[in-house]
Structure 1
């Protein structure tokens, strides 16, 4: 399919915008894969006037375009949770979409490696969860792990064949191309300040003028709680930005990695740990760590926004989290500033890995990502997707649905998430909170 038409001068990488409409049926805020999937689901449901607004000049600029590009199986998530249900469905749908659209992907499978007997209990819980979620999971002994990944040292492991790899930025762009062809309006380079409900509509305030809508879906990732508060809605959480950094694994160690190699995760954290991933381009990257970013879009230590950092450091939820997990945080910071420390973490799965084997990724977009993690006032990390609706939507009442927590595996689950959100807008789903 040909590239989508480009915007004119002054909007590099932007999208052309059909003639403006004074009012849209639905406006979606945020041009990551979840926002574009919501647009797709709205069009599928018969909505004919749909617009998407993205603050950056191009789509997929943040979480969508800066991650491991793993198609998650649904192994890790609590049975019955949104993550479990939507990731399992999304795993199959993502691969089917890539095949249909001739986009790069590979169902390469994943080894989860237990490097110490103390991890076996947690690994058994993964087996229970995976099978409860309908995910095929094969238990491996040490020899079985070596058969799958000869370079990995483990006392036991799991083989998850449905896990894969893809290019989520490419998927997002193709979904957007198809949506534009069906009549959706895309505004890039246009920052949304708030989405305020009135009696008969919602006013979407942007830095380039207002848009009107009957309903609004805010999929703003790192800015989702800010937009909710600016709209007069209490989100009940704060987004804390955690940066995850990646390195390319080079040389014989990289050559020996066949697919995806993950540690057994610590259930106290929503992060899956430092893992090795062979991408669709053939390169092998390792990471991420998880350190507090110094800005919402703080992709390195040099990017500091004092007001944003101060807001995080004075937030009661973050302070409670830091008081409980400061040792973990210090360890993550050590791995961020020391390549040797990162190599030591990798060597637990891939023995013999040294700092010399780790190099900055050849693609600058792959060097770091920032996870938009919702934290509750008591310091608890929100462990599931969180969709909260302002207004019931009954009798045509204008509503704003805020997507307040959609980190990994949201990219995998994006297509089902889109349908879930449309069901909520239409009053067909009973999951989640509604505020009036």
Structure 2
């Protein structure tokens, strides 16, 4: 029997397993991943940004753990020879109506302890991004990029070196508590364990419900699609260029994101995916789609923001409309300079009342079971700090 089983082989599950084995080296630990490779979903399909912590409400978990986590992530990448770079970011206002929100973001960043932030004008923006048009902007020099797949593989090696086990191709399909043990049935075998931590990403609500947890919040999958700058156009940008995000939503808007391999991603948009793992417009799972559409919280959200939803869908279907979002910042960019890029899924928790959950959510209302219910961006940046928090809270909950 295992002392601890962690469900989920994304960056958060791996970071948590690693942290437990650092703190409790004699723990008999196993990590289960349903796919044939680690970091197959959100952890391996995000834009690779090490966020600074500027956006988030002061005193929130996101604010605290992102600022701490960014520093830890830069250090981890450096110590393990993982491709990364501190390239800086500008958050750009292009119209008067965005200036108040820009000021709020700046104040949040200062309150959260983000270092060396500066409000800058067009002339100063031009020195950082010569092609960028701006009314005003925030310069955030300590934002960076990293290869998160490489981070995950490195964490997996850490786990194995500390005698933890990792099983791929093991999807948990049932969970039963029998006497003093928890029995996990996968599609391959039965595993007995004393304690369980779920880091299921887009499936976190299902795993919680499987063990008798609350049905709310529900995970709603939002697909984000990217274009790529063609290689001969990559010199248009030097670093990260972000818009001023709409404060009604937890999405950061269409942006320019250089990668560690030199490519430049453009995006993402944010549209309802037609399947939990629906990375393409054509991927449809009727059961999962109807489950989302008829969830009371989703009905309320759609009734309130149907115009925004239609505009996002139109932008998803029209490259010209997608391009317009980019031309607000780099007017000279053309479709001829772009090509099809990857896509990802953001697992976003939605409350029963239709409000989007805007912070990390950890649930400990069942003996010997600990759930990560909501961990969207900046979870990759924050993963080492989130793992430390989970380890402290879960160890106390499990009475280790």
Using structure 1 for the length normalisation, give the TM-score.
0.89
Is it true that 1:414 corresponds to 2:394 in the alignment? no
- Partners of 1:196 and 1:232 within 8 A in 2: no
Q: Deviation string for 1:258-287 (max 9, x for gaps)?
A: 010000111100000000011111111100
- Go from structure 1 to structure 2 and tell me whether the alpha carbon gap of 1:197 and 1:124 turns closer, same or farther (over 3 Å shift): farther
Give the aligned partner of residue 104 of structure 2: 125
- Go from structure 1 to structure 2 and tell me whether the alpha carbon gap of 1:200 and 1:109 turns closer, same or farther (over 3 Å shift): same
Q: 2: distance between equivalents of 1:100 and 1:344?
A: 41
Gaps of 5+ in 2: none
Q: 2: distance between equivalents of 1:199 and 1:122?
A: 54
Number of corresponding residues: 396
Give the aligned partner of residue 139 of structure 2: 159
SS in 2 for 1:379: coil
- Partners of 2:196 and 2:368 within 8 A in 1: yes
- 2:353 counterpart (378, 396, 413): 378
Deviation larger for 135-144 or 32-41: 135-144
Give the aligned partner of residue 65 of structure 1: 44
SS in 2 for 1:246: strand
Is it true that 1:141 corresponds to 2:121 in the alignment? yes
Give the aligned partner of residue 19 of structure 2: 41
- 1:292 counterpart (254, 272, 276): 272
- 1:183 counterpart (163, 170, 187): 163
Q: Deviation string for 1:147-190 (max 9, x for gaps)?
A: 11111100000110110000101100110011111100101001
- Partners of 1:197 and 1:400 within 8 A in 2: no
Gaps of 5+ in 1: 1-22, 362-366, 392-397, 429-433
Q: Deviation string for 1:358-402 (max 9, x for gaps)?
A: 2013xxxxx1000000000011000000110133xxxxxx41111
Q: Deviation string for 1:127-146 (max 9, x for gaps)?
A: 11001110021110111111
Q: 2: distance between equivalents of 1:196 and 1:224?
A: 17
Give the aligned partner of residue 269 of structure 1: 249
Give the aligned partner of residue 324 of structure 2: 344
Give the aligned partner of residue 89 of structure 1: 68
Is it true that 1:424 corresponds to 2:393 in the alignment? yes
- Partners of 1:33 and 1:60 within 8 A in 2: yes
Q: 2: distance between equivalents of 1:212 and 1:72?
A: 38
The Cα shift of 1:318 comes to 0.6
Q: 1: distance between equivalents of 2:30 and 2:383?
A: 18
- Go from structure 1 to structure 2 and tell me whether the alpha carbon gap of 1:415 and 1:235 turns closer, same or farther (over 3 Å shift): farther
Q: Which has the higher helix share?
A: 2
Give the aligned partner of residue 195 of structure 1: 175
Q: 2: distance between equivalents of 1:32 and 1:51?
A: 14
Q: Deviation string for 1:223-256 (max 9, x for gaps)?
A: 1111111222214211000000011023665312
- Go from structure 1 to structure 2 and tell me whether the alpha carbon gap of 1:253 and 1:144 turns closer, same or farther (over 3 Å shift): farther
The Cα shift of 1:68 comes to 0.6
Is it true that 1:243 corresponds to 2:219 in the alignment? no
- Partners of 1:196 and 1:204 within 8 A in 2: yes
- Partners of 2:88 and 2:142 within 8 A in 1: yes
Q: Map of 1:276-315 to 2, 5 A cutoff?
A: 276-315=256-295
The Cα shift of 1:357 comes to 2.2
The Cα shift of 1:199 comes to 4.1
The Cα shift of 1:198 comes to 4.3
Q: 2: distance between equivalents of 1:195 and 1:40?
A: 24
SS in 2 for 1:360: strand
Deviation larger for 151-160 or 248-257: 248-257
- Partners of 1:64 and 1:411 within 8 A in 2: yes
- Partners of 2:231 and 2:263 within 8 A in 1: no
- Go from structure 1 to structure 2 and tell me whether the alpha carbon gap of 1:346 and 1:305 turns closer, same or farther (over 3 Å shift): same
Q: 1: distance between equivalents of 2:64 and 2:259?
A: 25
- Go from structure 1 to structure 2 and tell me whether the alpha carbon gap of 1:290 and 1:149 turns closer, same or farther (over 3 Å shift): same
SS in 2 for 1:76: coil
- Partners of 1:241 and 1:373 within 8 A in 2: yes
Aligned-pair Cα RMSD in Å = 1.4
SS in 2 for 1:402: strand
- Partners of 1:195 and 1:216 within 8 A in 2: no
Using structure 2 for the length normalisation, give the TM-score.
0.96
